[in-house]
Amino acid sequence: MMSTILDVKNLSLSFRTDEGIVQPVRNVSFSLEKGKTLGIVGESGSGKSVSTKAVMQLLPSIASVDQDAQINYTTKSGEVLDLSKISPADPQMRKIRGGEIGMIFQEPMASFSPIYSIGNQIMEAILLHRQVSKRQAREIAIEMLDKVGITNPQVRVDQFPHEMSGGMRQRAMIALALSSGPQLLIADEPTTALDVTIQAQVLNLMRDLQAELGMSMIFITHDLGVVAQVADDVAVMYQGEIVEYGTARDVIKSPQKPYTQRLLDAVPRLDNVTPPKPLKGARRLIDVKNLGVEFEVRKKKMFRTEIEKVRAVSDVTFDILKGETVGLVGESGSGKTTVGRAMLRAIDPSEGEVIFHRKKKGDIDLAHASEAELRNVRAKFNMAFPEGPVSLQTLAGDMLRNFRPEMSLVFQDPYSSLNPRMTVRDIIAEPLVASGLMKDRDAIDERVREIAARCKIDLEHLRRFPHAFSGGQRQRICIARALVSKPKFVVCDECVSALDVSIQAEIVDLLRDIQAELGVSFLFIAHDLAVVAQISHRVAVMYHGRFVEYGPTENIFFNPQHPYTKALLSAVPHPDPDAVFTPIRIDGDMTYPVAAFGADGIQLRTPSPQECLSGLPIDLVEVSPGHFVACHIDGASSHSQPKVPELV
Amino acid sequence: MLRFTAERLIGMMITMLLVSIMVFAIMEIPPGDYADRYAFRKYSGTGVNVTAADVEAIRVELGLDRPMLVRYFDWISGIVLRGDFGQAFAFETSVTKVIGDKVWLTTGILFATLILTYLISIPIGIYAAVRRGSAVDYGLTAFSYMGLALPNFLLALVMMYFANLWFGADIGGLFSKEYQNAPWSLARVWDMLKHLWLPAVVLAWSAVAYQIQTVRATMSDELNKLSVTAARARGVPEKKLLLKYPARLAINPVVSTIGFDVNRIFSELPIVAVVLGLTELGELLLKAYLDLDMNVAGAILLMLTFAIVFMNFLSDLLLAWLDPRIKLGTT
Amino acid sequence: MLKYYSASQWTLIWWRFKRHRAAMLASLVLGLMALAGVFAEFVAPYGPVARDTSYIEGPPQLPRFCDQNGCSLRPFINGSKTERDPVTLRAISVPDPEVRHYIGFFVKGDAVKVLGFIPTERHLIGLQDTEQKIHFWGTDDLGRDVFSRTVYATRTSLSIGVIGVLISFVLALIIGGVAGYFSGLVDSVVQRVTEVIRVVPIIPLYMGLAAAMPKEWSTTQVYFAMTLILGLFGWPTLARRIRSQLLSIRYEDYVVAARLSGAKAGRIISQHMLPSFTSFIIVDLVISFPYMILSETALSFVGLGLRPPSVSWGVLLQQAQSVRAIEQTPWLFIPAIFVVTAVLAFTVIGDGLRDAADPYAEAK
């Protein structure tokens, strides 16, 4: 017995803006059956979020719903209402909001008011829609918090949003939305701001609760993997219109429309990826040895500032070969960005070495070089640049030698990393000018044009300012700037995370092409495992400031050894409706495996609960050639020498 | 909370100490010292020829020959330990006597002004933000421009003029003639309250203009917050929603700037007091400056500043109580 | 659109500022005021202390085109004659409708030196009959022309504002810059001192310093002392803003990017930090003018600032301290209109600039 709960017909929205009337949504129709989930997928600006806001009448004041639109909603009592015709001030609408339709948002922090406790806000929803006393409402709130998997709900209920972690806040938000007993839940990118392991937990939670409560759900997301896991039906939106609409299986397995096909092609898939093979015979470019970074956190006290040291990175050891891409993955706060910045000396490492091998002039220890030496390295690295068809012949003598700041960084946010007050030409030329590498304007222009062309930036655009460009175009400018001085080593710090999938794919292709042409080495930092798998020759997994696993990409992704890596990989939702999604959950502190060295090689085992390992050192153990896993070393088998990475 | 209070309390003490040093420095700036002025005042016009030795004798008698540091400690310890602000030269009595009950009059004016300011600015600021872009909103913006631009003494004059026109001549000052020097009584208090509204309105004028802008700006920001949308999405009625979420937060910046408001009011007080003929600290301060009676001036400046520092302290506590993020140190 | 794409920061700011009509109008008004002040000798028909004993406490004389004897294309005023008030028997001047004095531009008058070095006898406006005088805005109790005095006062008051703001700006830049750059202990000390100065009510503080000026100082000395006092204590708010701006810009990605490009500190500051920072500083400068002007006016008003024979808006308003003045010589309040207009203009321009100062805010 299926019955339609929501039927949207010909929904068009108009926004009055300074530039005139804009229609972010045109002729959108979809319907939802009881107990089912509709996924709405689209890239940023596709109108997926506003169209559901129209259902709830939560549009900004500049918006209006066009006349011939219908939003037919069947209430719990079976009445059919056209929500587009009800005024937001109507008491009927108040009953629908929360009572009939619940909503959760992308930013769990911002969706709670900071000045009231979580419980206060949940109870508010309960008291509005259920005939219960305050005391009962509090009990329901605690019960709901328990249900969404928040431990110790009696205490948590009185806590403020800022006292909780991101994942917990989103759970609390779900508890809030469900506590007033809606029959439809609209979830607007509910897991986008969360780490992948937390996302997996929240997705599972939502799925379970939906089944338990028989609820319908509209799930808005840009992530095709997520939609494949949760949705029964899928609507693909593009520029304000639904371009394809059907069951999740049909849409994802056999897309009919070119846009959907393009979108699906662009999505990096961990279940269907051929990572680049490890490089053979390349010379070693950078050696990182026992890198550690401590941050000083200043706590203002009355008379003095107390300085607390926080370890962001400890004991990181790895190397990068010439022309190689090393992926660095991990969740937020794992220290991956810190590793990248410490290698570039954007922050000073507190211990360890970063050695940059030079063919002719000898090695330099970046970790201990003085500011002047560093500038020298960045500016006047005078060594040959053997690979790639770089038009070095156009330059001569000193100019050629002074031409090589050796390393650079591509930032995550293409908006904040470009100085809005400089032209694109000046931005790209900055590394040449700032370091004093080149003085001749014409030569600089030529170089800028060359790199711009390589990064597929329209030469016409060089005279423009960054405000003229979209995120993807800006990221190309960032890459051009990073490459203009012909560096040997570039850190890409989440450089595709802020971009839509299709643009993400273009940037990844661009980076690969450039590497093939110029032989530059990348440290590719990202939280998106699939992107990393596409581009990296080797991958390191970070957790709490440490490498937990490091090795050839294939080994890491298809034969993970460390429990954290396994959990991380299991949490990635694949864009395949048939894939089994059983994320491994890590509760509390993660335990490292124990490595025992026997005659037949190295054995990893899970420590028994009795073993107290917290004080023992953690070492990277080579389980197969080039594949290292962070383990405790079993003392009993120490007659055989543990194999830790050799770096000579 | 206890720890937070203690921290702020010590911070307040340090500020007060530094302020007292600064005030003392200002008292020392005028050329010559009290001995010169004292001698001049005492003997000028009497035909007595004052020699340098005479002045020196006076200087020794008053203890002004001692080093500055000693005099500072003398001065501040007198204030802290005995409530003694020294001698008022122009009036030939102690500063404490000269100031007398003017402290309470000033306090009365201050609180009348503050209450008036917040009663007007908070609701109007909230209203203007909710009705953004309406005629009322534009009108208020225009008004607040005037509030910032009109010098207070001019406003005081204009108000006096119209008050005279409408309510008769006896409107300036703090008391009617018959109560001017009368001992305190209920009738005198009532008489004062009748006169208090005029200075309160004049002094509140710019504070209101300023705070309306603050409340309106915060309220506008808060209205666009996701938490407000989220509350709307769970069916909270619009009026309750506005009051519980954005309006409640829009009060915070007002609370945090109470000290500034007190500062602004005290800053305007001397001039407004002169125009309106108020017999309180501000007027006395101006008189003392004109007479170069620096003991009186210093005492008043110190009192006013201490009051501001204390109000800052109170506003910190109030804010911490209003906003759970502050005492947890996670702003 | 192409024009927009290749427009620099200042062009964008200018485009946005132009859209702010009130601010454009305010700029025009302020510009005229500044011009009048700079060329006061030429604009004012008479000197600031010149007395017309035949027209004491006289009301404004408005130019007219018609009187009972008919109309004229050239504006004129009627002459005046002295009569006795029938009640008080005091000598008062009443208009004499039989006499016309025509108004002219670039008329001859007292020899003056514009800007102190360009000698001229011509004045922008006045009566063609050099023997007669016109008082557009009336005269004060000594028979001094309010219009001329206001023009000269505009110069004094605006220039005190400008110099005061400049002094406090330089101080703020140094102090805020040091605090923002060094951070740590230096920052804490600077912050504490700033807080102490901010907490003292500013007008009473100014008064204390102004009261200390020796009575025998010349008007020039007093003038410079006043600008110094206003400047020396006007910096804390500005310094705080500069410090926090510096701190926030320091960690912007594009500044980090410049550092990683190998740029030296000087280049980072001049090429990357200052350009994004100047527009905000200009806004702060503009909105700190009103405080300077109002403070000067207030101090002079109560007799602690500039003293006669200097003329500033505050000095002129000293004569209008009582309700009696509103009733009997309301034209003495005309300088107040200037104060209000100037303060309003600065505030409106400040608002316009603030909206325009970050042209990239909405582009994001």
The model's pLDDT over A52-111, given as tens digits with 9 standing for 90+, comes to 888 888 888 888 888 888 899 988 888 888 888 888 888 888 888 988 999 998 888 888
C-alpha–C-alpha distance, residues B270 and B297, integer Å: 12
ipTM score over 0.95, yes or no: no
pLDDT at A381: 42
Alpha-carbon distance values, A604 to A546, A550, A623 (Å): 19, 15, 9
Nearest CA in chain B to C191: B15
C-alpha–C-alpha distance, residues B279 and A396, integer Å: 85
The one-character DSSP state at A216 is E
Residue (of A443, A424, A535, A537) closest to A485 by Cα position: A443
Question: Per-residue pLDDT tens for A444-453?
Answer: 999 899 999 9
C-alpha–C-alpha distance, residues C206 and C296, integer Å: 9
pLDDT at C362: 53
pLDDT at A309: 81
**A positions 152-191 inside 8 Å of B (CB):** 160, 162-163, 173, 176-177, 180
- Count of alpha carbons within 13 Å of A502, Cβ hemisphere only? 11
pLDDT at B293: 81
pLDDT at B326: 67
Nearest CA in chain B to C289: B149
C-alpha–C-alpha distance, residues C318 and B157, integer Å: 12
Chain A CB contacts of C275 under 8 Å are 419, 421
* CA-angle at A472, arms to A468 and A477, nearest 5°: 70
3-class SS letters over A440-457: CHHHHHHHHHHHHHHCCC
What size, in residues, is chain B?
Answer: 331
How much is the mean pLDDT over chain A?
83
- Chain B closest-CA separation from residue A94 CA (Å): 4
pLDDT at A84: 85
CB contact under 8 A, C201 and B15: no
What mean pLDDT comes out for the span A492-498? 88
pLDDT at A547: 92
Contacts of B256 (CB under 8 A, 6+ apart): B315, B316, B319
pLDDT at C57 over 80: no
The one-character DSSP state at A231 is -
Percent of chain B whose predicted confidence (pLDDT) is above 90: 12
Percent of chain A whose predicted confidence (pLDDT) is above 70: 87
SS3 for C61? coil
Contacts of B210 (CB under 8 A, 6+ apart): B144, B147, B148, B261, B264
Pick the CATH number of B99-292 from 3.90.1150.10, 1.10.3720.10, 3.30.300.30, 3.30.420.40: 1.10.3720.10
Helix H or strand E segment including A185: strand A184-188
C-alpha–C-alpha distance, residues A20 and C157, integer Å: 46
pLDDT at A404: 43
Chain C CB contacts of B148 under 8 Å are 290, 343, 347
Nearest CA in chain C to A415: C364
pLDDT at A367: 63
pLDDT at B122: 92
C-alpha–C-alpha distance, residues C172 and C166, integer Å: 10
Question: Per-residue pLDDT tens for B128-165?
Answer: 888 877 788 888 888 888 887 888 888 888 888 887 77
- Is B243 at the interface with chain A, CB within 8 A? no
Question: Per-residue pLDDT tens for A146-186?
Answer: 988 888 899 999 998 888 888 888 889 999 998 988 999 99
Where is average pLDDT lowest: A287-296, A467-476, A490-499, C272-281? Answer: C272-281
Measure CB to CB from residue A378 to each of C8, C9, C262 and give the nearest one: C262
pLDDT at B305: 92
- Count of alpha carbons within 13 Å of A465, Cβ hemisphere only? 20
Question: Per-residue pLDDT tens for C104-142?
Answer: 777 777 777 777 777 777 777 777 777 777 777 888 877
- The subunits that touch chain A, with at least 3 C-beta pairs less than 8 Å apart, are B, C
| Residue A268: cis peptide before it, omega within 30 degrees of 0 | no
A222 close to A191: Cβ distance less than 8 angstroms: no
CB contact under 8 A, C203 and B150: no
Residue (of A74, A54, A73, A56) closest to A64 by Cα position: A54
pLDDT at A395: 30
pLDDT at A391: 27
DSSP secondary structure string for all residues of A556-608:
HHHS--SHHHHHHHHTPPPS-TTS---PPP--SSPPPPEEEEETTEEEEEPPP
CB contact under 8 A, B234 and A97: yes
For tokens 């003329």, name the residue.
C311
pLDDT at B70: 84
At A217, is the pLDDT very low, low, confident or very high (cuts 50, 70, 90)? very high
Structure-model confidence comparison of residues B172 and A100, the more confident one: A100
A351 close to A317: Cβ distance less than 8 angstroms: no
- The subunits that touch chain C, with at least 3 C-beta pairs less than 8 Å apart, are A, B
**A positions 105-144 inside 8 Å of B (CB):** 105, 107, 110-116, 121, 124-125, 128-129
Structural domains of chain A ordered from first start:
112-181 (no CATH), 284-557 (3.40.50.300), 558-636 (no CATH)
* pTM of this structure: 0.81
Question: Per-residue pLDDT tens for A399-441?
Answer: 333 334 677 889 888 888 898 888 899 999 988 887 777 778 8
Chain B CB contacts of C204 under 8 Å are 266-267, 270, 282, 285, 300-301, 304
At A258, is the pLDDT very low, low, confident or very high (cuts 50, 70, 90)? very high
Which amino acid is located at B215 in the chain?
A: V
SS3 for A541? strand
How much is the mean pLDDT over chain B?
82
pLDDT at A370: 65
CB contact under 8 A, C9 and A421: yes
pLDDT at A325: 94
pLDDT at C133: 76
Question: Per-residue pLDDT tens for B271-313?
Answer: 888 888 887 888 888 888 888 888 888 889 999 999 999 999 9
pLDDT at A299: 62
Task: Look up residue A252 and give its two tokens.
Answer: 């994802």
pLDDT at A394: 33
CB contact under 8 A, B238 and A89: yes
pLDDT at B331: 35
Measure CB to CB from residue C254 to each of A405, A419, A468 and give the nearest one: A419
- Is A94 at the interface with chain B, CB within 8 A? yes
Helix axes C9-19, C274-301, angle to 10 degrees: 50
Question: Per-residue pLDDT tens for B197-230?
Answer: 888 888 998 888 888 888 988 898 888 888 998 9
C-alpha–C-alpha distance, residues A509 and A534, integer Å: 10
What mean pLDDT comes out for the span A467-496? 88
CB contact under 8 A, A431 and C275: no
Measure CB to CB from residue C211 to each of B145, B268, B290 and give the nearest one: B290
pLDDT at A172: 92
Question: Per-residue pLDDT tens for A289-338?
Answer: 888 888 877 665 555 556 778 888 888 999 899 899 999 998 888 888 88
Percent of chain B whose predicted confidence (pLDDT) is above 70: 88
Question: Per-residue pLDDT tens for C287-310?
Answer: 888 888 888 888 888 888 888 888
Task: Show the beta-strand stretches assigned E in A275-341.
Answer: 284-300, 305-321, 325-329
pLDDT at C29 over 60: yes
Strand partners, A540: A328, A550
- Chain C closest-CA separation from residue B239 CA (Å): 30
pLDDT at A405: 60
pLDDT at A636: 61
Question: Per-residue pLDDT tens for C173-186?
Answer: 888 888 777 767 78
pLDDT at C20: 84
Residue (of C274, C279, C245, C252) closest to C359 by Cα position: C279
CB contact under 8 A, A468 and C264: no
Which amino acid is located at A197 in the chain?
A: T
- Chain A closest-CA separation from residue B319 CA (Å): 11
pLDDT at A270: 81
- The subunits that touch chain B, with at least 3 C-beta pairs less than 8 Å apart, are A, C
- Is B225 at the interface with chain A, CB within 8 A? yes
C292 close to C282: Cβ distance less than 8 angstroms: no
What mean pLDDT comes out for the span A227-252? 91
pLDDT at A399: 34
Question: Per-residue pLDDT tens for A70-83?
Answer: 899 988 888 888 88
At B114, is the pLDDT very low, low, confident or very high (cuts 50, 70, 90)? very high
SS3 for C119? strand
Question: Per-residue pLDDT tens for A346-405?
Answer: 777 788 887 777 665 556 666 666 666 665 555 444 333 333 222 222 333 333 333 346
